[in-house]
Each structure stands twice: as structure tokens, then as C-alpha cells.
Structure 1
Amino acid sequence: MTIPHIPSAATPAVAASLNLWHEMIAADDLSRLREIVAEDAMFRSPMAHAPYASADALVLALTTVIQVFKDFTYHRSFVSDDGLDVVLEFSATVNGKSLKGIDMIRFGADGLIRDFEVMIRPMSGLQALGAEMGARVGGSLPAFKAKT
């Protein structure tokens, strides 16, 4: 996988975090993820209404999903005018089901991830992902549910 171009609209701190993110994805190794995640980060799953609160929740979800996805590829990226919000479009397969999705990532001025939301389609791909993630982290991720 080639590392996607980081849009110039991203702030320097966000661009540095995105570069590390893409390097980790390319290496299939998210062991340095905590370096770019704020302690109070939120993870918003496509399978759950309420977000999961804390860096621990985000790291658990993302380090697990990278093991579940096969043929994962980023295609396009979009950056907000202030350079702090990034949308990354991707495709992957889960247990033979194709899916497309986006990662909507909100960074702080320090370049740390504050909010990471995932949206996925079609339903068959989302269901395959939900089943696999449930089998792997269904017993531990719910403990991080944010109070809404």
C-alpha cells in the first residue's frame, strides 16, 4: 500500500499525525497509535449509537479492526478549512464481504486525535464487520461506553 498524499490544508501537527497513521496502516502495525490519540478521545462505531470514551477504547477498537479488515485501502482524503477535521475514504473486505467507508477524524491543535467516527456501507459489509468485532472485543469494548 502506498501512503496517501496528505492534503496541504491540514495543519502541520495534523499532517504529522496523519503521516504516522498512514505509515502504521501501511505496515499493518498500530503499536504507536497511542502517540497520536488524546487521553479523552472518543470512538464512534458504525454499530453503536453511543460513543466509546477514552484513548483506551479508541486504541482497542482500531487495533482490532485492522486485524479484521482484509485488502484495506484508502482512496481519497478531505480536510476542513481549519485543517483539523479529516475524512479518509476506504474500502476493505471482512469475511468475503466488500465494504466502503469513511473515517471522520477530528484532531486538536496539538495534532492528537480527539474524535474518530467510522461510517460503513453496504449493510452486508457492516454486518460482517459487526459480527467479527463482536466476537473479538464484544466482552471488553462496552465497558468504555460514554454516558449520553
Structure 2
Amino acid sequence: MAREQAIQTLETWHDLLEKGEFDRLRPLAAENVVFRSPAFFSPYSGVEPLVHILSTVSTIFEDFAYHRQFWTEEQDAVVLEFSARVDGKTLKGIDIISFDDAGKIREFEVMIRPANAAAAVGEAMAARAGPRLKELLGKGR
């Protein structure tokens, strides 16, 4: 695994997130990237669903901020702790980002607590992201 490329990918992720420039996410993701979310039951594969979900959730979260990051011993994944608010509920969560040998994102997993905040995220995401996500995937979920 090319640690330097993974670090650069992560730095670019932070920058594009801050600027809201989610089109810049496409070249950072592996073609077969998998996204796992607390808002949707099934994982989603592919760059376009990843970009759509992350750009949509950025419109739902208020006062989003990362606080800490932890690299795995193998340095092929990083855990980012964050906080935000959604629909008046404060939440804490983590993003687990795994990288392939080229330093591209191969898996992006999100976990959120408490349950009422996770449910609020799920409801908002289903309303805002769901229709386009079904279209991107060419099927209903």
C-alpha cells in the first residue's frame, strides 16, 4: 500500500469537503469503491453513488467537524471521528476509509450514534438521496 498516496487522498478529501467540491472525489475513489452507511441497509458500489451520497449528506449535516483521526497499524485505513447536528439532534460518528494499493478509496463506511440521530439522518437521506440513488443504481432498494 502506498501510504503517501493514501495521505494525499485524505488531505484532498478534507479540502474538497471543506469547499463542497464533491466532483473532486471521483478521481480519489477506486472504480469498485464500496460505501456503507447507517442511512441505508445495503452497501453501495461505484463512484457515482459514493459522490451522490456524500454530497447529499453534506447538505443535511449542520456544524460538521472532524475531531480526531486514527490510522490502522498497516496504514491502509483511517478512522475519522466527527460530530454534527441533523434536525436539531446532535450526533457523533466515525468515517472508516480504507485505501487500495494505489492510495484510492476502496471502502468508505460511516457509523453514527445515538440511534435517534442516526434515524434522522436515514429519513433525510432517503428523502433527498433516495430517488437519484435508485436511478444511479438502475433499481429500487
- TM-score calculated relative to the size of structure 2: 0.90
Letter in 2 for 1:117: E
Runs (4+) off by over 3 Å? 142-145
- Distance between the aligned counterparts of 1:19 and 1:76, measured in 2? 14
Q: Which structure's residues are more often helix, by fraction?
A: 2
Counterparts of residues 88-103 of structure 1 (less than 5 Å): 88-103=80-95
| CA-CA distance at 1:57 after TM superposition | 1.1
Unaligned runs of 5+ in 2: none
C-alpha distance in 2, partners of 1:79/1:130? 28
Helix, strand or coil at the partner of 2:40: coil
1: CA distance between counterparts of 2:113 and 2:58? Answer: 17
SS of the residue corresponding to residue 22 of structure 2 reads coil
**What is the Cα-based RMSD across aligned positions, in Å?**
1.6
Q: Is 1:134 paired with 2:110? A: no
Residue 57 (structure 2) aligned to one of 65, 68, 73: 65
- Which digits, 9 at most, give the CA deviation of each residue in 1:28-68, with x for residues without a partner? 33220112011110010113332111111111110111111
Is 1:53 the counterpart of 2:45? The answer is yes
Partner letter of residue 104 of structure 2?
A: L
Q: Which residue of 2 aligns with 1:112?
A: 104
Q: Equivalent residue of 2:131, what SS?
A: coil
Q: For 1:25, give the aligned amino acid.
A: L
**Mapped partners of 1:28, 1:125: distance in 2:** 23
User: In structure 2, what is the equivalent of residue 21 of structure 1?
Assistant: 13
Deviation at 1:104, TM superposition (A): 0.6
Rounded to whole Å, the distance in 2 between the matches of 1:18 and 1:61 is 18
